[in-house]
Structure 1
């Protein structure tokens, strides 16, 4: 069973000019050797690039179409109506994110709007009762079919995420289900992102350069715009692909996997540019449970890696990034209503940027 459909293997680590495509249908095989073959291809891409496409994922095209239709229906509504579902209302950090709410690496507001959905947790769930941020129920706008379409898609893409988590375990030489117990009620967020039509937006950032905070991301987009930073400092296009009639997903390593592997898997910096036409993007940010503490696995825990890859709490890291990215949360921090978790990093302190900063620091006398 072939694990790769197209080659994007770099000549040296980070020197890539397109992303590899990996057929992950083998992950559903009853034969461990088939699953291991896919995992090996994923591990190679994670080590050398940090990004890859997956085909053969099996998510129904009808679910994807329904998700797109319901997202378009929501964004066609009046702005005042959409703001009734504002993410800053209530707890849980879920709901509508208006244009200008988020600020990433550029220091400028992003030209997009979004609707954020999370893993459903009932009001009596222990993590909800404990008051953990990012955990709880979702806000569902009163639009026909919205909740049903989004929940069905979330279930499918989350199941794919679990398959990939198991593949990452195999790629790291672990037992296939080694990480399963860390994913019971995670702050894994699905975003329905809409980039409005703006003919003047040529070469204007839609989302500033950043790494993703979670373990990995599963992205489906309908237009080009995503760019990935290679080790030569070049931005490489990662446009939508269709393989054998099926839309491929873009998968990228996040901060958590970089910590777990002490940089062997890299959380590569990326951005969205050239948003000149209407664009929809649906990333699922796959995370482990809030209280999970991530540290380099024993085979990666070299002494010289310790200063850059200290143990990290998944939930605290994600929450600290949100506190530094969303305007409404940043205002609460400035008013003293919220505080950054102890040891919080700056946004984009992983991946390419972390390596650049470390190199500059090492080269600076004194």
Structure 2
């Protein structure tokens, strides 16, 4: 059953994916709900996902411990120390959206790869070891979270494949057998001036296939719709999912990536945990043969860039985007 949130004139659906996550029962309703959500809003909540609440709470508690430290301590795992792996901490204002500094700090993580991994030996950007804070259980908790969320990413993409009348393994077989996993922990300080033009994160769309977001109880996420901006408030033990530009590209615009932004409305810090489930770095991005571009929204997009004109690998694409987010690290490309 799809539930609805009371959020202005348009709401985001809550989809119980337990038939998909449990690999049992009739998935017909879930698949229909996924299609509707991906076509109408590009955003939806999921419940019935099976991710341990205690693990989620442990991750949140450890993250608050980390961000409560002084800047000098946090900078001991600054991103510059990770080199081409692009992992570690950045301070408030250290990340850009549309060329403007975001009002957030954060830590970047990814799949943990040893030096003898072929991708590390090949010196591929975005591949390597993580920089974990020296807090007890922090690294272990993040890696456990990455593992279960990767499984959840596969599950949701199976449902999305079915919603496109494809084999459930369509994305796995072509793009995500070895997905590029990018995980962020963001901390948004209180907004000192709610009327300013400074955003925690400005208007943007996500680059990849699928984003699975855990957020705390502060709120602040906003989604752009044809009727204006609506809120995506917290829902207990749910994740907010949204499709990214690559799914927009693969489906020929049948499923659209949706702009969103964040402003912390709380008088205290706000935490969010976006998990990006993306194609393999070397994957050649080819539209699904049965889908054609319905309408290229080049001039309507926030960045005035057409995802439908992309050529090459996903790695080529993502590096061009990340370099704009962290200009100080461009020299590593």
Does TM, normalized by the shorter one, top 0.5?
Answer: yes
Residues 51, 140 of structure 1: alpha-carbon distance in 2 compared, 3 angstrom cutoff: same
Q: What's the counterpart of residue 280 of structure 2? A: 289
Q: What's the counterpart of residue 256 of structure 1? A: 246
In the TM superposition, 1:38-57 aligns within 5 A as: 38-57=30-49
Kept in 2: contact 1:119–1:135 (CA 8 A): yes
Q: What's the counterpart of residue 214 of structure 2? A: 220
Deviations 1:267-310 (A, max 9, x none): 00000024443100001011011011222211113597699513
- 1:162, distance to aligned residue in structure 2 (A): 1.1
Counterpart CA distance in 2 for 1:231 and 1:193 is 28
Counterpart CA distance in 1 for 2:129 and 2:176 is 17
Counterpart CA distance in 2 for 1:141 and 1:83 is 10
For normalisation by structure 2, the TM-score amounts to: 0.89
Counterpart CA distance in 2 for 1:16 and 1:215 is 27
**Does residue 211 in structure 1 map to residue 205 in structure 2?**
yes
- 1:91, distance to aligned residue in structure 2 (A): 2.5
For normalisation by structure 1, the TM-score amounts to: 0.81
Deviations 1:248-270 (A, max 9, x none): 11100101100000111110000
- Structure 1: stretches of 5+ with no match in the other structure: 9-14, 339-366
Kept in 1: contact 2:18–2:50 (CA 8 A): yes
In the TM superposition, 1:98-177 aligns within 5 A as: 98-105=91-98, 107-177=99-169
Among residues 5, 16, 22, which one is paired with 2:3 in the alignment?
5
Residues 311, 297 of structure 1: alpha-carbon distance in 2 compared, 3 angstrom cutoff: farther
Q: What's the counterpart of residue 353 of structure 1? A: none
- 1:311, distance to aligned residue in structure 2 (A): 4.4
Counterpart CA distance in 2 for 1:217 and 1:102 is 18
- 1:201, distance to aligned residue in structure 2 (A): 4.3
- 1:25, distance to aligned residue in structure 2 (A): 0.6
- 1:30, distance to aligned residue in structure 2 (A): 4.2
Q: What's the counterpart of residue 17 of structure 1? A: 10
Deviations 1:306-354 (A, max 9, x none): 9951344222221111101113124x3xxxx64xxxxxxxxxxxxxxxx
Count of residues paired in the alignment: 318
- 1:208, distance to aligned residue in structure 2 (A): 0.7
Counterpart CA distance in 2 for 1:30 and 1:316 is 35
Q: What's the counterpart of residue 97 of structure 1? A: 90
Deviating more after overlay: 256-265 vs 169-178: 169-178
- Structure 2: stretches of 5+ with no match in the other structure: 299-305
Counterpart CA distance in 2 for 1:252 and 1:46 is 8
Kept in 2: contact 1:190–1:282 (CA 8 A): yes
Kept in 1: contact 2:210–2:242 (CA 8 A): yes
Kept in 1: contact 2:210–2:276 (CA 8 A): yes
Q: Secondary structure at the match of 1:291?
A: coil
* RMSD over equivalenced CA pairs, Å: 2.3
